[in-house]
Amino acid sequence: MTADQVWNELKNSKDYRDFLANYLRLRQLSLSDFARATGFGRGFPGDVISGKRRLTAKSSIVFERSLKLPPTGRRLFRLLVALKEEDTYPELERKDLAHEISHLRAKRLVSPRRIVLEEKIPARILLRPHALAVLAACGEPNSWTTLEAIMERTQLPAQRVISLLKDLQGAQFIFPHATEARFKPSDEHIHIEPQQQSELFVQIFKKATEEAAEKAKTSLGSQEELFFNSTLCVRKENVPELKKALGDVILKFIDSATDSEGERLIKLVVGLHF
């Protein structure tokens, strides 16, 4: 089944238990498979689906992160849990739950990695100093992040952050809250689709490596910083496999580490070249 076909069945689940049952069926996963993914005992997911046990705030987060779905799907699961188990997400406005669930069910299942063409105007905004840092500081698409938290993570003055948030909002990289100074990104990651000479990506990557070089001058002895450099010999036919393995490891960690409650802003630069 395609991702859209899976979503069309999932989004109409009547509650979170039905959602889990449909998810396992559509993904052709056993209860044991899902139990291993969550780290809970083999019988727990089955008991949740059957109604013998309920999800708590802690177990709900674990279940949500184990769903191999883009933000739209995981958000719908969270809201269905909140609707049924009132003590799980006290920060969610209960009066808005039904409306947002209806809104999500009307949406397509989108990829967590948004593809942008580098020659388009919105993508050029990413070249503004600190724009990527402010975007990263917004956390994950499933949760709102306050202006104060973004300022703390980036260590930038308020006016600078507000100006960048306005530009990122105009390019639809982030969304503002309707009534409060809170924000969330539209996607977990941005993939820049190179065109011709890949000018935009080259500029972003060069700037990132320059920042890393400056950081290395003062941080090589730090217990918190990590710098890694390796030169190795590899068979030519194994290079595509090496690139894929590195990409999978990095993106797997980023997918699980993106957190709207995080306190630190991490910059990761990876280059594999001949």
In this structure, what CATH number is given to the domain that contains residue 234? 1.10.10.10
3-state secondary structure at position 182: strand
Of 259 and 123, the structure prediction assigns the larger pLDDT to 123
pLDDT in tens, 11-42: 999 999 999 999 999 988 999 999 999 999 98
Which of 78, 105, 132 lies at the terminal end of a domain, its last residue?
Answer: 105
Residues 130, 100: one domain?
no
* Residue-level pLDDT at 228: 85
Binned at pLDDT 50, 70 and 90, residue 255 comes out as low
Structure tokens at 159: 């006016």
Residues 132, 262: one domain?
yes
Structure tokens at 105: 């069910």
Binned at pLDDT 50, 70 and 90, residue 62 comes out as very high
Mean pLDDT (whole number) for 184-200: 74
* Residue-level pLDDT at 227: 85
In sequence order, which ranges of the chain are alpha helices (DSSP H)? Answer: 3-10, 16-27, 31-38, 43-50, 57-66, 71-84, 94-105, 121-124, 131-137, 147-154, 158-170, 199-219, 239-257
Binned at pLDDT 50, 70 and 90, residue 134 comes out as very high
Residues 116, 149: one domain?
yes
Nearest to 38, CA basis, from 22, 61, 5, 54: 61
Residues 138, 33: one domain?
no
Residues 82, 128: one domain?
no
Residues 15, 71: one domain?
yes
- Tell me the residue range of the domain where 49 lies: 3-105
Looking at the 3D structure of the chain, how many domains does it have?
2
Residues 274, 211: one domain?
yes
Residues 21, 126: one domain?
no
Residues 43, 95: one domain?
yes
| CATH at 61 | 1.10.260
